[in-house]
Amino acid sequence: MLLRQILWLNLLLLMLALQSTSQQARRPHPCQEPVQLEAVATPTPRQRQQTKKARPTMEQQRKRGGERGEKRRVFRLEPFANVSCRIETLTLRQRFPASVIATSIFCILPSMPAASKKPGFRGVDGFTDYYVKYGQSEPPTCEPRDLPYFKERGSFHEGEIMEHPGDFNTFRITSEEKRAEERLHSDKVETLREAAEIHRQVRHYAQSLIRPGVKLADLCEKLENKNRQLVGEDGLNRGIAFPTGCSLNHIAAHYTPNPGDDTVLTKDDICKIDFGTQINGYIVDCAFTVAFDPKYDPIIAAVKAATNEGIKTAGIDVRLGDVGAAIQEVMESYEIEVDGEMKPIKCIRNLNGHSIDPYKIHAGKSVPIVKSGDTTKMEEGEVFAIETFATTGRGSVIENYDCSHYMKNFDAPRVPLRLQSSKRLLNHINKTFGTLAWCLRWLERDDGGSKAVHGNTGKQTGYRAALRTLCDAGIVEPYPPLCDVPKSITAQYEHTIVLRPTCKEVLSRGDDY
């Protein structure tokens, strides 16, 4: 009987919820308000005694269709992630005991809205609005750390968990000592997970903007502004790790539009989107490839499979040269048809993955993507960007075109500067970017690259000569675009992993790639 009552009440509540949903417009920020459910609880024993003679029978109540009922008790529930509808009033029949009412309310809490928007290009899977299931608005505006979903969990989601390869690592899975070591560094991993979640939400938002005809400068500005918004930009404490790369066709890396660059993405282009997020210096670096023409599918499949193979092979005490050999074997097993001719897909041998340290995107260890004799081993606790590059060209890149990416050397020499303009620019770089990478577009923003640091008074003008002086002195390093031969095709995928004592975690893994 109790089960039957619960089922009937669930049905009633569901009908009311659907009716409420159809009458109300969707809230722009559903994560910010609680849900109120009003329901009738059973009368107290004294009230039951007083109305015992007047109470209608169960059959009479059934005939009346449950019209009799009162509002007795208010249930105020904090939202669980996103709430797709708000039920303001539910009038329940008195014949349901309070326990049934409470059980039913929690059984049919409003469901999360389902993600529904697919990206408009080839190269990624999933839905661009996946984050609505966490209570995020569409487009995203709330910092993930402020979403009730993550507040209630008390932590961010783990990335993809994989075992370290090799029989010599099997003990790590069940080792209590390694678990204890892992707990000692849990704050670092949790910070990386937050940065990874922000990166996922920003890149999914960007995927909704990518279409033929979009100006690359506008795309980068929107992506970077969303990155600043969701990370809660706070100077060197929280912000963008490096400029958004949107390298086209034979340009493999390190291209972002300079001021005045009006390059437009076309349906025949293949574009590599590469950007990063940092919190307290902990960087998540991740990249994917965009294409609209199905002719690029083989090279996209090759580089994606090679990246996943590199992740699979990586682990504690694994030699870097062995990772490169595994990547190359997978990458070069693919070929692609170009203008009616089958061409082999090659690794770009002078581009590598790399280790990452706080505020240092290239921390010293390089992860090759071709076979090499490098016997350097990966070590416990290290963070790596596993990235692979494919090409139909010569298989190596050179620096070409105007430089847009710059970065202060981590071990920059102390050199006396004569020009006041050079001193001012260096002071601006130290305060705004530190040893993180930046681009010319950021210098010409009103905030000079960080609103938290400069407000709207940070714009730099007449900085070209000063920048040249800093580069000549070895204080700032330029990173020009890296290009294969013209008319060649290049592609890239990248993920950030952390080598935990018990396993490796692919922090940036998402439903898109």
pLDDT, tens digit, 9 for 90 and up, residues 168-203: 999 999 999 999 999 998 999 999 999 999 999 999
Residue 374 reports pLDDT greater than 90: yes
Of 41, 73, 107, the residue that ends a domain is 107
Are 156 and 224 contained in the same domain?
yes
Residue 53 is predicted with a pLDDT of 46
- Residue for token pair 């370290």: 164
At 104-135, the pLDDT tens digits run 433 434 455 677 899 999 999 999 999 999 99
Residue 49 is predicted with a pLDDT of 54
308 vs 285: CA distance, rounded Å? 15
Are 280 and 170 contained in the same domain?
yes
Please tell me which residue in 274, 309, 322, 447 is annotated as part of the active site: 274
513 vs 125: CA distance, rounded Å? 6
Round the average pLDDT of the chain to a whole number and report it: 85
Residue 494: active-site member? yes
Are 447 and 495 contained in the same domain?
no
Residue 182: active-site member? no
Residue 217, in any domain of the structure: yes
- What tokens appear for 405 in the block? 């990416």
**Burial zone of 47 (CB within 10 Å; 0-12 exposed, 13-18 middle, 19+ buried):** exposed
Tell me the mean pLDDT in the region 284-290: 98
β-bridge mates for residue 251, sequence order: 483
Residue 42 is predicted with a pLDDT of 45
Residue 114, in any domain of the structure: no
Are 94 and 226 contained in the same domain?
no
27 contact partners, CB below 8 Å, separation of at least 6? 33, 86
Q: Peptide bond preceding 139: is omega within 30 degrees of 0, i.e. cis?
A: yes
- Residue for token pair 């050079």: 422
66 vs 91: CA distance, rounded Å? 9
Are 388 and 491 contained in the same domain?
yes
Residue 62 is predicted with a pLDDT of 46
267 vs 419: CA distance, rounded Å? 47
* Amino acid present at 26: R
Tell me the mean pLDDT in the region 142-146: 96
Higher pLDDT, 415 or 231: 231
Please tell me which residue in 197, 309, 387, 484 is annotated as part of the active site: 387
Are 380 and 468 contained in the same domain?
no
The order of strands in the sheet holding 251-253 is 251-253, 482-483, 398-399
Q: How far is CA 453 from CA 372, 448, 481, in A?
A: 44, 9, 29
At 25-71, the pLDDT tens digits run 444 444 444 434 333 344 555 555 554 444 455 445 444 544 444 33
At 67-94, the pLDDT tens digits run 444 333 333 333 333 333 333 333 333 4
Residue 513, in any domain of the structure: no
Residue 189, in any domain of the structure: yes
Residue 164: active-site member? no
User: Which region among 40-54, 217-231, 415-429, 468-482 has the lowest average model confidence (pLDDT)?
Assistant: 40-54
Are 500 and 384 contained in the same domain?
yes
Of 73, 107, 141, the residue that ends a domain is 107
At 231-245, the pLDDT tens digits run 999 999 999 999 999
Contact criterion met (CB below 8 Å) for 407 and 479: yes
Residue 338, in any domain of the structure: yes
Please tell me which residue in 138, 197, 285, 447 is annotated as part of the active site: 285
What percent of the chain is modeled with pLDDT above 90?
75
Residue 354: active-site member? yes
Tell me the mean pLDDT in the region 434-447: 97
Residue 81 is predicted with a pLDDT of 35
- CA proximity to 286, closest of 304, 268, 269, 302: 304
CATH number at residue 188: 3.90.230.10
CATH number at residue 469: 1.10.10.10
Give Dmax over CA atoms of the chain in angstroms: 100
For 459, the domain range is: 406-479
Tell me the mean pLDDT in the region 321-347: 96
Are 464 and 489 contained in the same domain?
no
In whole angstroms, what separates CA 307 from the centre of its chain? 18
Contact criterion met (CB below 8 Å) for 254 and 299: no
CB-based burial, 246-279: b 16+ in 10 Å, e otherwise? bbbbbbbbbbbbbeebeeebeeebbbbbbbbbbb
Residue 19 is predicted with a pLDDT of 55
Residue 456 reports pLDDT greater than 70: yes
Contact criterion met (CB below 8 Å) for 164 and 503: yes
- CA proximity to 292, closest of 492, 127, 487, 121: 121
Residue 307 reports pLDDT greater than 60: yes
- 387 in helix, strand or coil? strand
Please tell me which residue in 199, 204, 354, 495 is annotated as part of the active site: 354
Domain count, the chain: 3
Are 492 and 445 contained in the same domain?
no
Residue 311, in any domain of the structure: yes
Residue 43 is predicted with a pLDDT of 52
378 vs 365: CA distance, rounded Å? 9
Q: To the nearest 10°, the Cα dihedral for 246, 252, 253, 254?
A: -80
DSSP state of 24: S
Are 74 and 177 contained in the same domain?
no
CA dihedral (460, 468, 218, 203) positive or negative: negative
Are 103 and 249 contained in the same domain?
no
What percent of the chain is modeled with pLDDT above 70?
78
Contact criterion met (CB below 8 Å) for 272 and 227: no
Contact criterion met (CB below 8 Å) for 214 and 266: no
Higher pLDDT, 402 or 96: 402
- CA proximity to 6, closest of 90, 110, 99, 109: 99
Please tell me which residue in 129, 182, 224, 494 is annotated as part of the active site: 494
Are 206 and 90 contained in the same domain?
no
Residue 163, in any domain of the structure: yes
Residue 22 reports pLDDT greater than 60: no
Residue 353, in any domain of the structure: yes
Please tell me which residue in 160, 332, 362, 382 is annotated as part of the active site: 362
- CA proximity to 489, closest of 249, 174, 168, 193: 249
